[in-house]
Amino acid sequence: MKKDPLIDQDIEAYLKKHQAKDLLRLITAGSVDDGKSTLIGRLLYDAKVIYDDQLEALKADSEIHGTTGTNFDPALLTDGLIAEREQGITIDVAYRYFSTSKRNFIIADCPGHQQYTRNMATGASNCNLAVILIDARNGVIEQTKRHSFISRLLGIRHLVVCINKMDLVDYSEDVFEQIRTDYEDFAARLEATEINFIPISALEGDNVVDRSEHMPWYTGAPLLRHLENVSIVSDQNLIDLRYPVQYVARPHPDFRGFAGTVASGIIRKGDEVLAMPSRQTSRVKSINTFEGEIDEAFPPMAVMVTLDDEIDLSRGDMIVHPNNLPRLDPDFDAMVVWMNDNPLEVGKVYTFKSATTTVPGRVESIRYAINVNTLHREQQSELTVNDIGRVSVKLQKPICHDPYSKNHTTGSLIIIDRVNNLTLGAGMIIERGTPATKPATEVSKATEPTSKNIREEASLVGAAARETLLKQKPVTIWLTGLSGSGKSTISQALEERLVQSGQAAYVLDGDNVRHGLNRDLGFSAAERTENIRRIAEVARLMNEAGLIAISSFISPFTKDRVGAKEIIGDDRFIEVFVDTPLEVCEQRDPKGLYKKARSGEIKGFTGISAPYEAPESPDLCLDTTRLNVEACVHAIIAMMQDRGLIA
């Protein structure tokens, strides 16, 4: 191992220099034999951070277990299990720590086999960066897509795609560029914020620590230099204060402190804070550590906080800033990685743990499972080991939480068996945007309950039971289009056809709703928005009852339709654009509204004196100048059948 001269010259300066360095956590992922363990071994060896005794042991092990035909097999540095060395594969996550003059690193070497998806998810959960390895001979394969998806699912923002074994394809630039193009085509659906591509040979050391002489066409940095310089400062959330209370310390009657780890944001002495869920306010009196009192704390510091007032706080509660609150709800959606051999049971009571809160609850429904090889959504009645799916969770009491994309600590959870205490699955909470799950600071007065003494009650009948009873999956068919486009005619015919075939369906029509539920609303932009919000809430309740809701509204504004989709749930919302040209609608004019609008009798009429924002990518587009009512109904039903919503 290369020795830093400061160790002999000034040990205190050496320690101070290393304490000031930040930490990068990264994983290596890829298919079997793509060279993940070899890459880590080569990285440590060429960076001269392997101790002499480790190197001697590695050379001895290479003669017994090595696969390179030499006395140096770098993969054996991380493949420590006997089964791994016998088979030449990685089975469990192996961690390696090393340091350079610029940064500290923790590497998680993750298994490549599909059956070890849960191991890979565990290794990636705390990482800032993922190194995705691709065998240059094989290109982008299913496991490449699987590991890339899981990395993004777990919030890893920085991806480094290393095209490995370039020595076996004669260091071809064309091969590298083709793989790069193929991966970029796939990655367009991942919403990754940063992807870098590096051609390497892990076995030979090309572009791992030092630049390769064999690939002069590559002008980027080698892997280690990129890892040393990638910026992760913005990955840390220093805005939203979240301080989950782990325990209350009361060593004597004059001291009451709240111990915990700062999950996000910054807490300062003198700050006004609010306790969740009691909503009592106070100010920070002191922030204490083992070394003494400090003025401020930030993640991931473990501290003891005292307050000016004696307010109700205990384990599972959270300290936040008054104007920046988390969600406080018993129900939410989450992406779950199932890790147990026994499948997830809808309706069964599990223990859910998020941050320092532990509460019983159940999965009410499995909205869909993700085929991580194709990224397609699939309807499944259960999640088995290594499956990933979106589920609806209902807890027995509200918990403070944020979307996982915003806060990994308050947005993550684990599912625990209540009998044997085994961890069964890990979940990432999704931002749904419904009024029930919006932050308290975002809920408008118009949608706030008039009383603080009310709460949502969970039904004893789960969604799966209703689906079994009605033999259908609840969904909202949202028809949008100009007045006179044919929405009402199509929706009524669709309702009749569904009922005749044994489905439970009901039409929510614009005119009918304005005679009752929304009779207090006019046609201003704000009132149109409120009209659509109320309809979406009704449709959501109908879906929760297991019914198929058919909505027939002009709904001219994109933001209102997006809001309706968020309320109902994107997996239960099908947008159908009844595409009829304005001139055709005006010729039909069944209610004489266009004539009144042209004469100025009706103000703000959609299509004449008010805009209509057509959907850019609806689930289905019906051209009524080409299709009659029967054909339109047939197209909607065919789509519902294709999605498995009805038989």
- Using pLDDT thresholds of 50, 70 and 90, give the confidence band for residue 213: very high
First vs last C-alpha separation in the chain? 66
Whether the pLDDT of residue 325 is over 80: the answer is yes
Angle at 411 between CA 409 and CA 413, to 5 degrees: 85
For residue 19, give the CATH number of its domain. 3.40.50.300
- Give the alpha-carbon dihedral of 510, 515, 520, 523, to 10 degrees: 40
Task: Give the per-residue pLDDT at 4.
Answer: 62
Q: In the chain, how many domains are there?
A: 4
Asked if the structure places residue 447 within a domain, the reply is no
More confident residue, 143 or 552: 552
Asked if the structure places residue 460 within a domain, the reply is no
Whether the pLDDT of residue 434 is over 70: the answer is no
**What's the average model confidence in pLDDT over 446-461?**
55
Considering the domain architecture, whether residues 307 and 389 belong to the same structural domain is answered as no
Model pLDDT for residues 545-558, shown as the tens digit of each residue: 889 999 998 888 88
Task: Give the per-residue pLDDT at 301.
Answer: 93
- Using pLDDT thresholds of 50, 70 and 90, give the confidence band for residue 67: low
More confident residue, 129 or 528: 129
The top-scoring range by mean pLDDT among 61-70, 87-96, 615-624 is 615-624
Count Cβ neighbours within 10 Å for each residue of 451-478 and write b for 16 or more, e otherwise.
eeeeeeeeeeebbbebbeebebbbbbbb
Task: Give the per-residue pLDDT at 269.
Answer: 95
Assess contact for 474 and 543: CB atoms under 8 A: yes
Model pLDDT for residues 407-419, shown as the tens digit of each residue: 999 999 999 999 9
Of 274-288, 322-336, 462-476, 554-568, least confident by mean pLDDT is 462-476
Considering the domain architecture, whether residues 136 and 81 belong to the same structural domain is answered as yes
Task: Give the per-residue pLDDT at 317.
Answer: 94
SS3 content of the chain, % helix, strand, coil (to 5): 30, 30, 45
Residues β-bridged to residue 194: 158
For residue 419, give the CATH number of its domain. 2.40.30.10
Residues β-bridged to residue 24: 105
Whether the pLDDT of residue 347 is over 60: the answer is yes
| DSSP H stretches of helix in 214-294 | 223-229
**What's the average model confidence in pLDDT over 300-322?**
93
Please state, in angstroms and rounded to a whole number, the distance separating the CA atoms of residues 171 and 183. 19
Residue that finishes a domain, picked among 211, 234, 257: 234
Asked if the structure places residue 33 within a domain, the reply is yes
| DSSP H stretches of helix in 485-524 | 487-500, 510-515
Asked if the structure places residue 444 within a domain, the reply is no
Please state, in angstroms and rounded to a whole number, the distance separating the CA atoms of residues 388 and 149. 11
Q: What is the percentage of the chain residues whose pLDDT exceeds 70?
A: 84
- Using pLDDT thresholds of 50, 70 and 90, give the confidence band for residue 268: very high
In 3D, which of 154, 138, 184 has the Cα closest to residue 30?
138
Considering the domain architecture, whether residues 277 and 177 belong to the same structural domain is answered as no
Q: Which helix (H) or strand (E) holds 287?
A: strand 281-289
**What's the average model confidence in pLDDT over 596-609?**
83
More confident residue, 102 or 450: 102
Model pLDDT for residues 272-306, shown as the tens digit of each residue: 999 999 899 999 999 999 889 999 999 989 999 99
Whether the pLDDT of residue 226 is over 60: the answer is yes
| DSSP H stretches of helix in 29-140 | 36-46, 52-65, 82-87, 117-124
Residue range of the domain that includes 71: 6-234
Cα 554 to chain centroid, rounded = 32
**What's the average model confidence in pLDDT over 452-456?**
54
**With 0-12 CB in 10 A as exposed, 13-18 as middle and 19+ as buried, what is 290?**
exposed
Task: Give the per-residue pLDDT at 525.
Answer: 74
Whether the pLDDT of residue 575 is over 50: the answer is yes
Considering the domain architecture, whether residues 500 and 600 belong to the same structural domain is answered as yes
Q: Tokens representing 405?
A: 């994309």
Considering the domain architecture, whether residues 374 and 391 belong to the same structural domain is answered as yes
Residue that finishes a domain, picked among 208, 234, 260: 234
Asked if the structure places residue 442 within a domain, the reply is no
Considering the domain architecture, whether residues 206 and 250 belong to the same structural domain is answered as no
Considering the domain architecture, whether residues 60 and 127 belong to the same structural domain is answered as yes
Assess contact for 401 and 411: CB atoms under 8 A: yes
More confident residue, 345 or 47: 345
Asked if the structure places residue 498 within a domain, the reply is yes
Considering the domain architecture, whether residues 295 and 346 belong to the same structural domain is answered as no
* 248: Cβ contacts below 8 Å, ≥ 6 apart: 256, 257, 258, 259, 313, 314, 315
Please state, in angstroms and rounded to a whole number, the distance separating the CA atoms of residues 3 and 7. 8
**What's the average model confidence in pLDDT over 78-99?**
54
Count Cβ neighbours within 10 Å for each residue of 8-33 and write b for 16 or more, e otherwise.
eeeeeeeeeeeeeeeebbbbbbbbeb
Residue that finishes a domain, picked among 437, 457, 487: 437
**What's the average model confidence in pLDDT over 72-97?**
53
The dihedral built from the CA positions of residue 501, 506, 509 and 515, taken in this order, carries a sign that is: positive
Q: What is the DSSP string of 552-591?
A: E-----HHHHHHHHHHH-TTSEEEEEEE--HHHHHHH-TT
Please state, in angstroms and rounded to a whole number, the distance separating the CA atoms of residues 104 and 236. 17
**What's the average model confidence in pLDDT over 206-223?**
93
More confident residue, 636 or 48: 636
Considering the domain architecture, whether residues 618 and 497 belong to the same structural domain is answered as yes
**What's the average model confidence in pLDDT over 446-462?**
56
Task: Give the per-residue pLDDT at 36.
Answer: 80
Beta-carbon neighbour count of residue 130 at 10 Å? 28
Assess contact for 131 and 27: CB atoms under 8 A: yes
The top-scoring range by mean pLDDT among 42-56, 185-199, 597-611, 629-643 is 629-643
Please state, in angstroms and rounded to a whole number, the distance separating the CA atoms of residues 358 and 354. 7
In 3D, which of 552, 546, 507 has the Cα closest to residue 531?
552
Considering the domain architecture, whether residues 226 and 247 belong to the same structural domain is answered as no
Whether the pLDDT of residue 451 is over 50: the answer is no
More confident residue, 76 or 563: 563
Task: Give the per-residue pLDDT at 131.
Answer: 92
**With 0-12 CB in 10 A as exposed, 13-18 as middle and 19+ as buried, what is 521?**
middle
Considering the domain architecture, whether residues 333 and 313 belong to the same structural domain is answered as no
- Using pLDDT thresholds of 50, 70 and 90, give the confidence band for residue 236: confident
Task: Give the per-residue pLDDT at 178.
Answer: 95
Model pLDDT for residues 527-540, shown as the tens digit of each residue: 888 889 999 999 99
Task: Give the per-residue pLDDT at 396.
Answer: 92
Asked if the structure places residue 1 within a domain, the reply is no
Of 69-83, 235-249, 285-299, 414-428, least confident by mean pLDDT is 69-83
SS3 category, 23 = strand
Task: Give the per-residue pLDDT at 521.
Answer: 79
Considering the domain architecture, whether residues 154 and 211 belong to the same structural domain is answered as yes
Asked if the structure places residue 451 within a domain, the reply is no
Q: Tokens representing 411?
A: 């947005």
More confident residue, 47 or 562: 562
Model pLDDT for residues 179-188, shown as the tens digit of each residue: 999 998 888 7
